Chain A
């Protein structure tokens, strides 16, 4: 299987006068279609790693390849297009646009990509919202929904452009355990059905122990890395 994500010797240093090194020579390869968990204490550098993989942040040195394309040398607009087409994000705090309805939020990445929405795409958005169990609240403003609903909206949104990779940072971090279970099962189903590669930061043992691979980050380095088949 191909490596859809590849990091070679990635270092990340913050600050110019007072330098803080957050990542040290990280090498990482993630296989297409795998479901990966990242664990680590807060401040270990795991979010920085995810942000670099997601091209939201740039490494201070080292190479980053997403879907075979080298990203650490791309300009802002090239990165924006790559993110739009290849990567779906699910964050702990949902990050929906509160001014738009759940349905519009789901379609937003497609809108950014194609500038207009056709019927087929609207049908797909409806389908995705059914998939995440949001049929009844489609037209609610994102700001007026519960945490679980917002998170499911964010999941549907991350899927709309059919990305190769979904990156999630504590996707169930502030949800109750029952909702956590539902969201996790949903992510797993998507992984199985669409072959989407997942990289999920989690501190939740129940989620971590169900991933294909657990990568533990400690002090900016990969401390343990266990995968099972």
Chain B
């Protein structure tokens, strides 16, 4: 990480800690407007780690839940204002565009990681549909049938949902046997649960832009 990004990160985190939304958003807006930071760096080095610290806080309870919610709101706004830059920075797809869907499991409300993932996929040239948080099993299956994606990305933050993930993957595989779609799993729960990668039967795990890029290349 270069020096200017380091400085930006510190400033953003301070604003986040102080729950100063106007300041935090203007810092991000300014950096994007003057091209001081790319979307990939912004997500990977600044917003992603912020989310991680909020998630891990859940287990240590150093700050209260309402503070967490304000901080998540600030990150959400930062992501919203980034979207125009996502479109402008995306690589032009070569030939037929591949499609991807991104969603979270039922009763999983932590959607920001999934949002960043969908922006990364857009940057990589995928025609990406962000379905969002709390997606019931039936809806997820329906969207796969209608949108016929090449990549199915599922984000899991709360480790309890790992147990449901296993069921859902089995269901997708049995319902779409002829489908060539690949399943990509990521999220805080995968990174922080020791045996998760052994237990979950998926095509790919992803936890960064680099991982997604590698997956894209592997599929070409």
- Chain A: minimal CB distance from B96 (Å): 37
Q: How far is the CA of A223 from the CA of B163 in the complex (A)?
A: 8
Known: A224-B199, A228-B193, A229-B194. A205 touches B166 (CB 8 A): no
Cβ-based interface call for B192 (8 A): yes
Query: Which chain A residues lie closer than 8 Å to B50 at the CB level?
Result: none
**Stretch from B32-40, B64-72, B154-162 that touches the partner:** B154-162
Q: Which of A25-33, A49-57, A86-94, A208-216 contacts B (4 or more CB under 8 A)?
A: A208-216
Whether the Cβ atoms of A39 and B195 lie closer than 8 Å is: no
Instruction: Write the nearest CB–CB distance from A181 to chain B, whole angstroms.
Output: 13
Contacts A226-B196, A229-B194 given; does A214 touch B160 at CB 8 Å:
yes
Q: When A205-B107, A223-B166 are in contact, do A228 and B192 touch as well, CB less than 8 Å?
A: yes
**Cβ of A122 under 8 Å from chain B:** no
With A227-B194, A228-B192 as contacts: A214 and B159 at CB distance below 8 Å: yes
Number of residues of chain B lying within 8 A (CB) of chain A: 14
- Do residues B163 and A214 form an inter-chain contact, with CB atoms below 8 A? yes
Residues of chain A contacted by B161 (CB below 8 angstroms): 209
Interface residues, chain A, with chain B CB atoms under 8 Å away: 39, 205, 208-209, 214, 216, 223-229
Q: Which A residues are in CB contact (< 8 Å) with B192?
A: 228-229
Task: Give B95-120 interface residues, CB cut-off 8 Å to A.
Answer: 107
Give bound CA distance, A214 to B165, whole Å: 13
Of residues 49 through 103 on chain B, the ones whose CB sits less than 8 Å from some CB of chain A are none
Q: Mark B160-181, 1 if CB is under 8 A from A, else 0.
A: 1111001000000000000000
Residue of B whose beta carbon sits closest to that of A229: B194
Find out whether the CB atom of B160 lies under 8 angstroms from the CB atom of A209: yes
